[in-house]
Amino acid sequence: MQKERWKAAAPATAAFRYFLCLQEHPLTEASPMTYNGEFGIILAFALYLLVMMAIGIYYSRKQKNLSQYILGDRQLGPWLTSMSAEASDMSGWMLMGLPGFAYLNGLSTIWTSIGLIVGTWLNWVFISKRLRTYTEVASNSLTIPDYLSNRFEDHKNGLRFICAVCIIIFFIIYTSSGFVAAGKLFNTIFGLPYTTSLLIGAFVVIFYTFLGGFSAVCWTDFIQGTMMFFTVLYIPIAASLALGGPAPTLEILAGEGPDFFSLLPESAGGWANFIMFVSSIGWGLGYFGQPHILVRFMAISDAKELKKSTNIAMGWVIISLLFAIAIGIVGKAYLATPLENADAERVFIIMAADLSTPFITGLIWSAVLAAIMSTASSQLLVTASAVSRDLYQPFFRKHSGEKELILVSRLTVLAVSLCALYLASDPNSYIFQIVSYAWAGFGACFGPVTLLSLYWKRMTLKGAYAGILTGGIVVLVWKQFAWFGLYELVPGFLLSTLAIVLFSLMDKEPSPKIQAEFDEAIARSKL
């Protein structure tokens, strides 16, 4: 009954519906997926955690200046750039939330994936090279607030301040959601108290981020992204083979009814399907404004390598998202005992334990932790860079040295982590809804500003202010009233774009210096 009521609703996005269900029906503390004393599972987890920490220790010795700590001195190769970007993008939601929603709702889940795939492609094609080039032309900008401030010659640093504050607030929320997920994972598998589980997961993330900075985060992202990729391939293929192959699997699924295999379920109605489609596709707009993804474009050693990075990233995203959906769909046929409501989130973990040896199961479960950690570490580092580069240096210590800024960044990692741990301390915390809210906030505030700043010479500082403020306000208001059931990112992005255009046209033209830098950046990006 709950399932039918849920399907008939018209909330913001397909994924958003799933997260709402999580809040209404939280996972129970008791779990059938305990490790049962299997040494192989413990060994796999221990090896994974030790490798992550070792990477942090190794790169801690290489942090000589702020550019190295927060941007790796722009020395990333194409593989590291692409894998780091995508691993930091796709959190535990890809391995748990998306399969869970597919398990309950079938093929209609694909629209959210299509939105994410299209958004990823547009981001790599239209943003990556120009942003990499322009940030270097604009006084070697190291952060997104840094870039926007230099791009528009904001000598009063008001734009930098607003951007930095938004990053701090939203990423504290993001990071706390990762800590909650890690806590739940250890609690579910090992039966440890939630607080202990929370601290273990958080400690490892804080450890390698604090010591190793951007390089450590990117290398751990690379390993984590690889683990996630092979895991999502293995589970649905192994489950289908265990059922006798694709044909027997489809025969079992035939009993689920037409809605399960429909891209636009008839039971939902035409208007609900339209809103779901627009909202799901609209998720892709958020990519233009996510600082933890955009910073990867800025860090590659050679802008010419971004074409190769794009191909790698798109292959990873398309295959990973489609197979994540396949986990949920095949799981519907594979699991004898049905999973209901939020318990559907467990489909991945249950199937992994049933299809693998203890050590392999431990590695697969570690992939969930990898997905969580890759996102949380990136968010911690971007927040640290916003504090040190965009708040501390311009407003408190203009002539601060490199070692001092690295220290401030590391202290920020600790401070933000403590705030995130506080938010995550309640074992019944389900802030996925707020995470989707934060995605919309970043997408509407920074997306149009970033996109137009790279492509429109006539854009001005007042236009940037108007775009950021309009995007944020629209998301706040739209969220409260939930008009038409439309995901708040869509109207926020569109109205922010309109505000940028109108306020820029009403303002005087940018200075000759700004226009010259724009021409130089565009010329370099075409080389």
Mean pLDDT of the chain: 80
Residue 172 has pLDDT above 50, yes or no: yes
Q: What is the pLDDT of residue 134?
A: 93
- 111 lies in a domain? yes
- 342 lies in a domain? yes
Domain count, the chain: 1
CA distances from 255 to 251, 258, 259, 260 (A): 8, 9, 11, 9
- 55 lies in a domain? no
Residue 305 has pLDDT above 70, yes or no: yes
Q: Average of pLDDT values for 392-398? A: 81
Instruction: Mention every residue, 6+ apart, whose C-beta is less than 8 A from residue 111.
Output: 14, 263, 276, 277, 280, 281
Give dist(CA 327, CA 334) in Å, integer.
Answer: 10
Give dist(CA 170, CA 172) in Å, integer.
Answer: 6
**For 6, phi and psi rounded to 5 degrees?**
-65, -45
Q: Which two tokens stand for residue 35?
A: 């490790």
Q: What is the pLDDT of residue 70?
A: 62
- 57 lies in a domain? no
- 348 lies in a domain? yes
* CATH number of the domain where residue 489 is located: 1.20.1730.10
Give dist(CA 137, CA 127) in Å, integer.
Answer: 15
The pLDDT tens digits of the residues spanning 205-248 come to 787 777 767 777 777 778 878 888 888 899 999 999 988 888 88
Instruction: Mention every residue, 6+ apart, whose C-beta is less than 8 A from residue 1.
Output: none
- 59 lies in a domain? no
> Which residue segment(s) compose the domain that 453 sits in?
2-25+66-525
Torsion of CA 296, 451, 89, 473, to 10 degrees: 130
Give dist(CA 218, CA 211) in Å, integer.
Answer: 13
Q: Average of pLDDT values for 428-443? A: 69
Q: Average of pLDDT values for 485-513? A: 93
Residue 434 has pLDDT above 80, yes or no: no
Of 394, 374, 493, nearest in space to 162 by CA: 394
Instruction: Mention every residue, 6+ apart, whose C-beta is less than 8 A from residue 473.
Output: none
Give dist(CA 469, CA 474) in Å, integer.
Answer: 9
Residue 432 has pLDDT above 70, yes or no: no
Residue 8 has pLDDT above 70, yes or no: no
Share of residues in the chain with pLDDT > 90 (%) = 19
The C-alpha angle 307, 171, 504, rounded to 5 degrees, equals 65
Note the helical H segments in 346-431. Answer: 347-355, 358-387, 393-395, 402-424
Residue 360 has pLDDT above 80, yes or no: yes
Give dist(CA 504, CA 458) in Å, integer.
Answer: 7
Say which residue, 486 or 513, is predicted with more confidence.
513
Share of residues in the chain with pLDDT > 70 (%) = 85
Residues in the chain, total: 527
Say which residue, 70 or 356, is predicted with more confidence.
356
- 521 lies in a domain? yes
Q: What is the pLDDT of residue 429?
A: 53
Confidence of residue 196 (pLDDT cuts 50, 70, 90): confident
Asked if 222 and 84 touch (Cβ cutoff 8 Å), the reply is yes
Q: Which amino acid is at 341?
A: N
CB atoms within 10 A of CB 59: 23
Residue 20 has pLDDT above 50, yes or no: no
- 41 lies in a domain? no
CA neighbours closer than 13 Å in the CB half-sphere of residue 503: 19
Give dist(CA 431, CA 298) in Å, integer.
Answer: 30
Q: Average of pLDDT values for 156-185? A: 81
Q: Which amino acid is at 281?
A: I
